[in-house]
Amino acid sequence: MIERTAHYIGGQWQPSIGTETIPVVNASTEQIMGSIPAGNAEDADIAVRAARAAFESWSTTSPAQRAGYLKLAAEQLQLRQSEIASLVSQEVGMPFAYSNVVQVGLPVQSLVSIADLALSFQFEKKVYNSLVVREPVGVVVAITPWNYPLHQIVAKVAPALAAGCTIVLKPSEVAPLNAYILAEVFEAIGLPPGVFNLVTGTGTGVGETLVAHPEVDMVSLTGSTAAGRRIGAVAADTIKRVSLELGGKSPLLVLDDADITAAVSHGLSACYLNSGQTCIALTRMIVPRSKLAEVEAIAKVGADSLVVGDPFDPATVLGPLVSSTQRDRVVTYIEQAIADGARLVAGGPTPPEGLETGFFVRPTVFSDVTPDMAIVREEVFGPVLVIQPYDTEAEAITLANDSIFGLNAGVFSGDEQRAISVARRIRAGQVQINDGAFNIHAPFGGYRQSGNGREFGTWGLEEFLETKSLQLP
* Residue 271 annotated in active site: no
pLDDT digit string (tens) for 172-202? 999 999 999 999 999 999 999 999 999 999 9
- Specify whether 301 is located in the same domain as 221: no
Cα dihedral: 88, 91, 92, 95 (round 10):
50
Let me know: does 22 contact 38? Beta carbons within 8 Å.
yes
- Specify whether 89 is located in the same domain as 209: yes
- Categorize the per-residue pLDDT at 441 as very low, low, confident or very high, splitting at 50, 70 and 90: very high
- Specify whether 240 is located in the same domain as 258: no
Contacts of residue 464, defined as CB under 8 A and 6 or more positions apart, other chains included, come to: 136, 137, 140, 159, 160, 162, 163, 165, 218
- Catalytic residue, chosen from 173, 245, 379, 463, is 245
Let me know: does 24 contact 93? Beta carbons within 8 Å.
no
- Specify whether 128 is located in the same domain as 225: yes
If we measure between CA atoms, which residue out of 276, 243, 284 comes closest to residue 366? Answer: 284
Q: How far is the C-alpha of 446 from the C-alpha of 105, rounded, in Å? A: 24
According to DSSP, residue 379 is labeled: -
Cα dihedral: 217, 188, 457, 9 (round 10):
-10
- Specify whether 283 is located in the same domain as 212: no
pLDDT digit string (tens) for 294-317? 999 999 999 999 999 999 999 999
- Catalytic residue, chosen from 271, 279, 455, 463, is 279
If we measure between CA atoms, which residue out of 402, 443, 445, 449 comes closest to residue 426? Answer: 402
User: How many residues make up the chain in this entry?
Assistant: 473
Q: How far is the C-alpha of 7 from the C-alpha of 47, rounded, in Å? A: 9
> Residue 51 belongs to a domain with what CATH number?
3.40.605.10
Q: What's the Cα-to-Cα distance from 176 to each of 22, 113, 147, 149, 314, rounded to whole Å?
A: 10, 24, 11, 8, 25
- Specify whether 282 is located in the same domain as 215: no
- Categorize the per-residue pLDDT at 439 as very low, low, confident or very high, splitting at 50, 70 and 90: very high
Q: How far is the C-alpha of 165 from the C-alpha of 160, rounded, in Å? A: 5
Residue 313 CA to chain centroid, in angstroms? 25
Beta strands 21-25 and 32-37 are: antiparallel
Let me know: does 46 contact 212? Beta carbons within 8 Å.
no
If we measure between CA atoms, which residue out of 219, 32, 30 comes closest to residue 137? Answer: 219
- Categorize the per-residue pLDDT at 68 as very low, low, confident or very high, splitting at 50, 70 and 90: very high
- Specify whether 200 is located in the same domain as 254: no
- Categorize the per-residue pLDDT at 394 as very low, low, confident or very high, splitting at 50, 70 and 90: very high
Identify the H or E element spanning 469.
Answer: strand 465-471
Task: Report the pLDDT value the prediction gives residue 304, as an integer from 0 to 100.
Answer: 97
Task: Report the pLDDT value the prediction gives residue 209, as an integer from 0 to 100.
Answer: 96
When pLDDT is averaged across residues 450-473 and rounded to a whole number, the result is 97
When pLDDT is averaged across residues 288-292 and rounded to a whole number, the result is 98
Lowest mean pLDDT among 49-53, 167-171, 203-207, 262-266: 203-207
Q: Is 79 exposed, middle or buried, given 0-12, 13-18 or 19+ CB atoms closer than 10 A?
A: exposed
Q: How far is the C-alpha of 264 from the C-alpha of 273, rounded, in Å? A: 14
Q: How many domains does the chain have?
A: 2
> Residue 327 belongs to a domain with what CATH number?
3.40.309.10
Query: DSSP of 135-149, one letter per residue?
Result: EE--EEEEE--SSSH
Beta strands 364-367 and 384-390 are: parallel
- Specify whether 126 is located in the same domain as 199: yes
Task: Report the pLDDT value the prediction gives residue 454, as an integer from 0 to 100.
Answer: 96
Task: Encode 86-119: b = buried (16+ Cβ within 10 Å), e = exposed.
Answer: bbbbbbbbbbbbbbbebbbbbbbebbbbbbebbe
- Specify whether 226 is located in the same domain as 86: yes
* Residue 395 annotated in active site: no
Q: How far is the C-alpha of 249 from the C-alpha of 257, rounded, in Å? A: 24
444 in a structural domain:
no
When pLDDT is averaged across residues 418-422 and rounded to a whole number, the result is 98
- Specify whether 330 is located in the same domain as 219: no
If we measure between CA atoms, which residue out of 90, 202, 213, 208 comes closest to residue 149? Answer: 90
35 in a structural domain:
yes
Dihedral sign from CA coordinates of 27, 29, 34, 36? positive
Range of the domain at 144: 2-246+449-471
Task: Report the pLDDT value the prediction gives residue 6, as an integer from 0 to 100.
Answer: 98
- Specify whether 127 is located in the same domain as 16: yes
Share of the chain above pLDDT 90, in %: 100
When pLDDT is averaged across residues 19-35 and rounded to a whole number, the result is 97
- Specify whether 191 is located in the same domain as 303: no
